[in-house]
Amino acid sequence: MNCETVQRLMLLASSGELSGWQRWRLARHRSICPACRQAEQEMLRLVDTARQALPEVAPGAGLLTAIRRAAETELRRRPLAGNAPRFSPALRNTALAVALALLVVAFGWSLRLERSPSLPAVASAPAVQETDELFTTELFPESEDLAVLSAEDVFYVERFIDGTGTDTINALDLELLWLEGLAI
Amino acid sequence: MQQKEVMRSEPPTAEVSDFERLSQYRSGQVEALAELVEKFKRPLYGFLMNMTERADTADEVFQEVWLRVIRHSGRIEERNFSGWLFRIAHNLVIDHWRRQRPAISLEKENEDGLTLKERLADLQPLPFERLDGEQVKRRVAEAVKHLPAEQKEVFLMRLEGDIPFKEIARIQGVSINTALARMQYALAKLRQELKQYRETSPSGPGKEAQP
Ligand SMILES: [Zn+2]
């Protein structure tokens, strides 16, 4: 594994987001690379320093009061959860039919919505092929123990995408994954 | 093992209680929402102040974020409340920028001419502990101010909001690699800034450090 990749794993480690597999790889690289060990210490200290250096700011009391008022107004405006008004059976059946119809419409609508990205400025990135990336992110089954994999588990595998790469990392790792039937 | 549990159990621990508060609010307890606002007021407001650099804008966006939480409190499908909160904030900040600076670039992290490799190659230790605390704070705050928007956002979401990188990537609509690279660039710039401070400060601790 190259040092740049490792240093990204270190960031994920700092936020508690490493998979078991990634953690193992990070530990293995740490044990053989003094530069990355030092870089990790530096990174943690820098983050710590920056965290302390960020100015402590908070919204004013007036703003908090305004939000509270808006919250109260909203509660008055709509019925409380769990306090639905009672209907006669006939009315309830009509309501159910209407609700069902609405549900069907809403479902169709949600399918349309899914196709239109909600974030305006930051366009959604392609799932995998980002050539400016150091490694691709792909979904593979993952588990703390490779022997007890479950299909819904997910982890990230680093892989060369430019096809060159002499500082390749993980021919062996990928091979292992193929052997395990986890990589495609 | 520990880290994995933290990652996997996001919803069952802290996040569940946030959602519980939200559902308490929906069943009529305004106080539950006030507690949520209280819990997130510093990280969220700190994020907005740093992103917008104006108190009046931060106020306006902060209020709008919570108004949306209030209005949509019954329709949340996210697993992670803080992620949802910062996603709303992210969208509103972008709306704000669009109104202010329509041509703002969200993709300029490589414009400084230095590759990440070059930055990472510089692994000389920085004696942070020998720098004066107040000066470091000013220096860091200044450096954060000048980060490109998308790097600044990743940096602040991590440090102010403690948002996981996977969530940040989702919010920004980029791959996790891009989110991590943005954090690396941001840290590299801060590091550079502190290093320059140490080298140039006439009365700075850097001088003292030399023989
Ligand atoms: Zn290394």
Q: State yes or no: pLDDT of A146 exceeds 60.
A: no
Q: Identify the pLDDT of residue B131.
A: 56
| Distance between A67 CA and the closest CA of chain B, angstroms | 6
What's the rounded Cα separation, in Å, for the pair B151 and B111? 12
What's the rounded Cα separation, in Å, for the pair B174 and B181? 11
CB contact under 8 A, A68 and B59: no
Residue A124 Rama label (left phi>0; alpha psi -120 to 50; beta): beta
Q: Identify the pLDDT of residue B133.
A: 72
Instruction: Tell me the percentage of chain A whose pLDDT exceeds 70.
Output: 42
B23 closest CA partner among A67, A154, A75, A22: A75
Q: State yes or no: pLDDT of A21 exceeds 80.
A: yes
CB contact under 8 A, B4 and A43: no
What's the rounded Cα separation, in Å, for the pair B43 and B37? 10
How far does residue A39's CA lie from ligand 1's centre (Å)? 8
- Per CB-CB distance under 8 Å, the chain A contacts of B7 are 16-18
Q: A154 and chain B: CB distance < 8 Å anywhere?
A: no
Q: State the burial class of residue B63 (Cβ atoms within 10 Å of its Cβ: 0-12, 13-18, 19+).
A: middle
Q: Identify the pLDDT of residue A93.
A: 59
Residue with more model confidence, A160 or B17: B17
Q: State yes or no: pLDDT of A68 exceeds 60.
A: yes
Asked if residues A169 and A158 have their Cβ atoms less than 8 Å apart, the reply is yes
CA angle (A115, A118, A124) in 5-degree steps: 75
CB contact under 8 A, B91 and A118: yes
**Bridge partners of residue A155, in order along the sequence:** A140
CB contact under 8 A, B140 and A50: yes
Nearest residue, CB atoms, A59 vs list B62, B120, B155: B62
Over residues A40-63, the pLDDT tens digits come to 999 999 999 899 888 889 999 999
Task: Give the type of residue at B118.
Answer: E
Q: A131 and chain B: CB distance < 8 Å anywhere?
A: no
Q: State yes or no: pLDDT of A101 exceeds 90.
A: no
Q: Identify the pLDDT of residue B99.
A: 85
B153 closest CA partner among B76, B73, B101, B97: B97
Question: pTM of the entire structure?
Answer: 0.64
Q: Decide if B13-100 and B116-200 have a common fold.
A: no
Residue in chain B closest to A134 (alpha carbons) equals B177
Average pLDDT, integer, range A9-15: 96
Average pLDDT, integer, range A92-108: 58
How far does residue B117's CA lie from ligand 1's centre (Å)? 12
**Bridge partners of residue A142, in order along the sequence:** A150
- Domain map of chain B by residue range? 13-100, 116-200
Q: Identify the pLDDT of residue B200.
A: 64
Torsion A80-A81-A87-A90 (CA) sign: positive
Q: Identify the pLDDT of residue A108.
A: 54
Q: A47 and chain B: CB distance < 8 Å anywhere?
A: yes
Mean pLDDT of successive 10-residue segments in chain B (211 residues)?
A: 39 63 92 96 96 94 96 79 94 90 50 43 44 77 92 97 96 96 95 75 45 34
Q: State yes or no: pLDDT of A29 exceeds 90.
A: yes
Q: Identify the pLDDT of residue A175.
A: 39
Q: Identify the pLDDT of residue A100.
A: 60
Backbone angles phi, psi at B24, to 5 degrees: -65, -40
Could you tell me the fold of the domain covering B116-200?
A: Arc Repressor Mutant, subunit A (1.10.10)
In chain A, residues 79-118 whose CB comes closer than 8 Å to chain B: 80-83, 117-118
- Class of B13-100 in CATH: mainly alpha
How far does residue B173's CA lie from ligand 1's centre (Å)? 29
pLDDT bin (cut points 50, 70, 90) of residue A15 is very high
- Can you tell me whether residue B137 is helix, strand or coil? helix
CB contact under 8 A, B187 and A144: no
Q: Identify the pLDDT of residue A85.
A: 41
Over residues A163-181, the pLDDT tens digits come to 332 223 333 344 344 333 3
Q: State yes or no: pLDDT of A32 exceeds 70.
A: yes
Q: A6 and chain B: CB distance < 8 Å anywhere?
A: no
Q: State yes or no: pLDDT of A88 exceeds 90.
A: no
Average pLDDT, integer, range A115-141: 34
Give the number of other Cβ atoms within 10 Å of residue B85's Cβ: 23
Instruction: Tell me the percentage of chain A whose pLDDT exceeds 90.
Output: 34
What's the rounded Cα separation, in Å, for the pair B168 and B151? 11
Select from B1, B128, B153 the residue whose CB has the most chain A CBs within 10 Å, as the one to mutate to test that interface: B128
**Bridge partners of residue A150, in order along the sequence:** A142
